[in-house]
Structure 1
Amino acid sequence: MASQSVSMPSLASKPDAKPVAASTGAESKPKPCCVCKDEKSKRDECMLFSTSADPAADCQPTIQQYRSCMAGFGFKV
């Protein structure tokens, strides 16, 4: 019985191999739904359950906290 050796190319020897973890700026930016969750829930709760005639004015501090948090991640609200 004659034995034949088979040459298998390795993955590292491919000339067009690309790094798996190559990321661009758009991929590293989180989605808006995934950041500032606490600030968003406080803002929503304030707006929904406010007994004021103008909930937007009454909740301005919590709205501003949410906006500054989102701005920290690069989102404009």
Structure 2
Amino acid sequence: MKRFTPLTLLLFIIIVPAFAEKLVDPTKVAPEYREAAEKRRAEQLRELECSHKADAQKVMPRDRTAFLLQCIEADADTK
């Protein structure tokens, strides 16, 4: 049992990042879906930028969702 627990934790740490959402690449999408893919990529980049801002400002986990929503809304208003 002592050997099983660390091995399980190690495997869990390795596997979890595999489920992360990847940035959409519009060039690898069928032409009829390219416009939607470009919009999704722009949205993902805005979310990523706001996430980096939250990290830089050291936003507490309990306040992170509100911060991200406010940041994304502010970015949408300026564009």
Q: Same fold (TM over 0.5)?
A: no
- Larger fraction in helix: 2
Give the structure-1-normalised TM-score. 0.30
Pair member with larger Rg: 1
Q: Which has the higher contact order (CA 8 A, sep 6+)?
A: 1
